Structure 1
Amino acid sequence: MTLPMNFSNWLLAIAPVIVLVTGILLFKWEAAKIGAFSWFVAVFISYVFFGTDFKMLALANAKGLQLSIYVLLIIWGAVFLYNIADEAGAIKVIGKNMTMITRNKSIMVLLLAWCFTSMLQGITGFGIPVAVVAPIMAIMGFEPVSAVAICLIGHSWAISFGSMGSSYNSIQLVTGIPGEVIGPWMAIIFSVGILATGFGVAHIYGGWPEVRKSAPQIISAGLVMSFVQWLMNIIGTAQLASLMAAAAGTLVLILWAIWGRKQIKSNVPRAEGEVDKMSFNLAFAPYYTLVGVSILTQIKFIKTKLSSLYWALDYPATKTSFGYLVEAVKDYSKIVIFSHPAPILLISTVVGYFLYWRLDLVDFSSLKRAAKSTVDRCIPTSVGIATMVMMALIMSDSGMTQIIAQGVAAVFGGYFPLVSPFIGALGSFIMGSNTNSNVMFGVLQTNTAKVIGKSGVLMAAAQSVGGSLGVAITPSTIMTGAANVNLGGRENEIMKITIKYCLLNVALVGIFVYILSFFVMI
């Protein structure tokens, strides 16, 4: 690359990101609006200062749209499935059954804020886990501000592999690192995040006495959750990693609750109310289907047969007038029809709707409401993600991201692994989601790793893990939680709690990644 790395070029390269940050934080623009404007800035700068032409820009935008489709299909499918279950009353039944597992409040707070929120994150997202669980905790007697903060911290470990793996898919798509390579390393790094968030939940609830009291439950459940999340990646079902890890943690805590019923005096009143129209198993039926079909598609014989059905595009090599080369790529952002999460989500939705319909829990009007709610929630997100992904691809293919990486490497050098997760967390805070953070900074992480001679896989994994933990301080998620427990206008109180734990959790991950960086060279 002949374009020199100096301060003026570095400022030009990072200008679209600065515009994006300024628009969100200072002008409070919505993601769709600021995403489109930042995209325009990237187009202008890359054309005028970085030697791209119309063909290069068209190809970069096409790549961006194709990447967006891959992720957005997952998001739309996950939200629609959740809305169908919610229309049937299944989410309320699942939540009620969770509250009836134990009357020990110490275990209950871990079950709800650490595990149940993460199970919901595994199947949906968009702040829904906090919106669902925080009101339940408030009704049970938990202080509302603490209830929202506990849920935000508690589920922040589950974001990357949640929403059927939308953030996990985004980091591998923008960096080009295969899921089977980056996924297990993400799970290993997340082991620190899982334990840290568990202890964070306990500390918010009852301070150091509660941490000491709950340590056996947190350590045992956290280790099992970490192993299950890693195992899901090893067997090729990363999209289930958050859901299954949270379910495993729930089982461990249930065992603790059963063992402790005679030892610990109950201090949570039993919930009273109307008889449910369905059992827990029926309420959870579409998610059982989701797990079953996902595992089925990973059986070697079936996976081989289905892998021939896919959609992808080929892109030629491009070069800027300054000589920055982007290699040709074949089958870019391949969507394998029957192993991509979207068709599996659709199958699960159809099964769930049919079962609920048989019991008169849903009808055609329910289907229309679920569809409308999905469109209303996903359209702004889709526009924001699409424009930001296109912006990121323009910056990557024009060499702008490489210039930024060289500048970052010059400042931090070998200590960059300590900072890497904070970049992910900052991206989530600014962009409002782990997915957007990965799109924005994923290539920056791998490029910087290359410059300083560290593992690109490790830095990309740290990016997504940091971005996941950073969701605990995203304004949109905090506002969603606050609104559902009548705390509108008190979001700053929630932020004051979550930011301390978020920064500590990310710092612990950074230290772990820094240690790993001396041994991991892939």
Structure 2
Amino acid sequence: MPPQSGSTRIMAFCRAQQTRAERGSQRAGDAKGGGVKKWEEIMELPVTIISWLTAALPLLILLVLMLAGRWGAAEAGPVSWLIAVGMAWFYFGASAETIGFESVKGVWSAITVLYVVWASILIYEVSDEGGAFERLRHGIADVLPDPLVQVMAFGWAFASFLQGVTGFGVPIAVCAPLLVGIGVRPLYAVIIPLIGHAWNNTFGTLGVAWLGLKEVTAMEPLLAAQTALYAAAFIWILNALGGILVCWLYDRARGVWHGLPIIVVMSAIQGGLTLALSQWNDVLNGFVASSVAFAALFVLARLPRYRAEKPRTSSVFTKEAREGTGHDGGGTGSDPQDAAAIASPRALTLNQAFIPYYALVLITFAILLVSPLKNSLSAFAFGVDFPETVTDLGFVRDATSVSMAPFTHAGSFLLASALIGYVAFRRIGVMKQGSFGRIVRNTVDKSIPSTIAVIALIAMSNVMAGSGAIEVLAHGAAAATGPAYGFLAPVVGGLGAFMTTSNLASNLLFGTFQSSTADATGLLKPAILGAQTAGGAAGNMIAPGNVLLGTTTAGILGREGEVLRVTIPLFTIVALLIGAVVFLVA
């Protein structure tokens, strides 16, 4: 039998699929007067190299503008959305109605993300106006004298802990300015927590991404248990690499060697507990693993090699921090108080500086872990229903409802914490005259560019999904690799997270596709689904929404391309390493 061409292989692959599009083909067939059709019959455009590259065009333009052109996401995002609209209209047969629905859906979905963005900026401005970051800089140096341990504490341990509790970009928005506060250069202050928190994006946030994957793929209990085990094993790899990469960024091989005891113990706790708890509790898994590890860090910091104060010679620190001549504050908010102000009677103590973040953790626990309270607050929700759409080429996009429960939303937790912090700082007496106005002005000024970027990026993602471009990208990549698809499975999960800034959304977007691909290629389904969510977790390192949160609160808005130039290669390394393991076991 002669070897199949790439196009033939793709069409053969499509015939084997039991995807969501196939399940929706009955409706589309009825609308056109026909019967049930396969994916390749309803989606009349064959998946070729031309159609695949056309589907990828908005993403390619986005990356070129941000990486090569050094555009910020606020400029590159709208251009990429326009490219996606043109691609959907001229090539994929999406009607103006479909494009309009998907764009509006993107705007509405963006509001749920922007709520976190706006509230994160606000809590930052409140903390900065009260002098909390300067206090944290001095206080953490006293508790954790080793500079590398300080960076690992905020960029890995605390970021992971916040991801276990809240997620939705909060770890980046909170930890980036905290790292700036201890003297880390703003660019690295964004990159480090992006890497450090990624591993907890599946079982963190009280397991929401994992629960979404279980729901969309309708897992039976045995399959769920097996998939959770594989996912946790792959996540352990991501976790260990995250700790190594944080130390590598700090001081290359010397940093890894110096931080090795913490890397080994922290990864054993974070990864090991995640693996063990994957068979016990979906909701508390990431929270318990990250909490125990965060507490353990302060015990590890008492080891002799970390107890002596060391000079800040690493290039991740600002010139002022390395020379001990002051701190530039990362270029955001009001000018930080100097050491004399820290010693004044009305200055914050270390615990007082943490008041907004203590409040964030307590509010989150009180609402999300107390079921009656959570259920009561979740009862109030509002949203918009969007109808099913069918493109001229026959691609079906199911009807959806995009809703928001404001009282259980991470943005509300941040907003309440910011207000508590402001009131507390006012009572302590560290807020200067006119502080409220400055906080509001700074928050609004920083919110405008990130708002434009988030809306454009999510609208672009929705237009691509509604036109069928996402299906073309995924099916083409899978069909081209065949039985070797396991190597690519984490990359697909990462692509979903890159496009949606969410492992949950990636799992919802590609979970069924990954399951069907495993069936069609004969690969081990638990391993492929585990790779999907592990890749989606790693994809949060490069998700533009997360990057925007960090650059905004670190005061380097517009430099998202510089961040991605570092995190994309690191994500690629991580995804390929996990993919190699998946290839061996699947």
Q: TM-score range by the shorter chain?
A: 0.7 to 0.9
Normalising by structure 1, we get a TM-score of 0.75
Check whether the contact 1:157–1:190 (CA below 8 A) recurs between aligned residues. no
Residues 1:381 and 2:381 are matched in the alignment = no
* Stretch deviating more after TM superposition (434-443 or 97-106): 434-443
Residues 1:275 and 2:343 are matched in the alignment = yes
Distance 2:229 2:500 in 1: 18
1:141 maps to: none
Q: Deviations over 1:397-448 (max 9, x none)?
A: 12121112221112223434433445676899xx8x9828997998467646
Distance 1:48 1:452, change over 3 A: farther
* Stretch deviating more after TM superposition (381-390 or 112-121): 112-121
1:88 maps to: 130
Deviation at 1:358, TM superposition (A): 0.5
Distance 1:216 1:362 in 2: 41
Distance 1:174 1:500, change over 3 A: closer
Deviation at 1:87, TM superposition (A): 1.1
Q: How many residues align?
A: 489
1:8 maps to: 50
2:501 maps to: 435
Q: Which of the numbers 266, 284, 297 marks the counterpart of 1:221?
A: 266
Check whether the contact 2:199–2:538 (CA below 8 A) recurs between aligned residues. no
Q: Which of the numbers 371, 388, 411 marks the counterpart of 1:317?
A: 388
2:379 maps to: 308
Q: Deviations over 1:490-511 (max 9, x none)?
A: x99x999878765544433334
Deviation at 1:27, TM superposition (A): 3.4
Check whether the contact 2:490–2:575 (CA below 8 A) recurs between aligned residues. yes
Deviation at 1:214, TM superposition (A): 4.2
* Stretch deviating more after TM superposition (186-195 or 16-25): 186-195
Q: Which of the numbers 471, 475, 479 marks the counterpart of 1:402?
A: 471
Normalising by structure 2, we get a TM-score of 0.68
2:297 maps to: 253
Check whether the contact 1:68–1:389 (CA below 8 A) recurs between aligned residues. yes
Check whether the contact 1:228–1:245 (CA below 8 A) recurs between aligned residues. yes
Check whether the contact 1:153–1:501 (CA below 8 A) recurs between aligned residues. no
The percentage of aligned residue pairs carrying the same residue is: 22
> How do residues 123-162 of structure 1 correspond to structure 2 at under 5 angstroms?
124=170, 129-130=175-176, 132-133=178-179, 136=182, 152-153=191-192, 156-158=195-197
Q: Which of the numbers 70, 77, 84 marks the counterpart of 2:112?
A: 70
Q: Which of the numbers 433, 436, 450 marks the counterpart of 2:516?
A: 450
Residues 1:35 and 2:77 are matched in the alignment = yes
Check whether the contact 1:420–1:445 (CA below 8 A) recurs between aligned residues. no
Residues 1:357 and 2:426 are matched in the alignment = yes
CA-atom RMSD in angstroms: 4.7
Distance 2:569 2:98 in 1: 44
Check whether the contact 1:392–1:440 (CA below 8 A) recurs between aligned residues. no
Letter in 2 for 1:450: S
Deviation at 1:335, TM superposition (A): 0.9
1:61 maps to: 103
Letter in 2 for 1:157: G
Distance 2:440 2:554 in 1: 25
Deviation at 1:344, TM superposition (A): 1.8
Q: Which of the numbers 538, 543, 563 marks the counterpart of 1:466?
A: 538
Deviation at 1:40, TM superposition (A): 2.0
Q: 5+ unaligned residues in a row in structure 1: which ranges? A: 139-143
Letter in 1 for 2:365: I
Check whether the contact 2:56–2:469 (CA below 8 A) recurs between aligned residues. yes
Deviation at 1:356, TM superposition (A): 0.6
> How do residues 473-512 of structure 1 correspond to structure 2 at under 5 angstroms?
503-512=572-581
Q: Deviations over 1:172-202 (max 9, x none)?
A: 9999959x99999877644322222223344
Check whether the contact 1:190–1:226 (CA below 8 A) recurs between aligned residues. yes
Q: Deviations over 1:129-163 (max 9, x none)?
A: 4565367357xxxxx8xx9769834651315869x
Q: Which has the larger radius of gyration?
A: 2
Letter in 2 for 1:371: V
Letter in 2 for 1:254: F
Check whether the contact 2:490–2:532 (CA below 8 A) recurs between aligned residues. no
Check whether the contact 1:149–1:497 (CA below 8 A) recurs between aligned residues. no
Distance 1:355 1:28, change over 3 A: same
* Stretch deviating more after TM superposition (196-205 or 496-505): 496-505
- 3-state SS of paired residue (1:338): helix
- 3-state SS of paired residue (1:509): helix
Residues 1:287 and 2:357 are matched in the alignment = yes
2:238 maps to: 193
Check whether the contact 1:72–1:382 (CA below 8 A) recurs between aligned residues. yes
Distance 2:436 2:289 in 1: 30
1:327 maps to: 398
Distance 1:388 1:160, change over 3 A: farther
Distance 1:44 1:367, change over 3 A: same
Distance 1:351 1:205 in 2: 34
Deviation at 1:337, TM superposition (A): 2.3
Deviation at 1:251, TM superposition (A): 2.4
Q: Deviations over 1:203-236 (max 9, x none)?
A: 5556657645643332222333447779799575
- 3-state SS of paired residue (1:52): coil
Distance 2:189 2:443 in 1: 27
Letter in 2 for 1:319: V
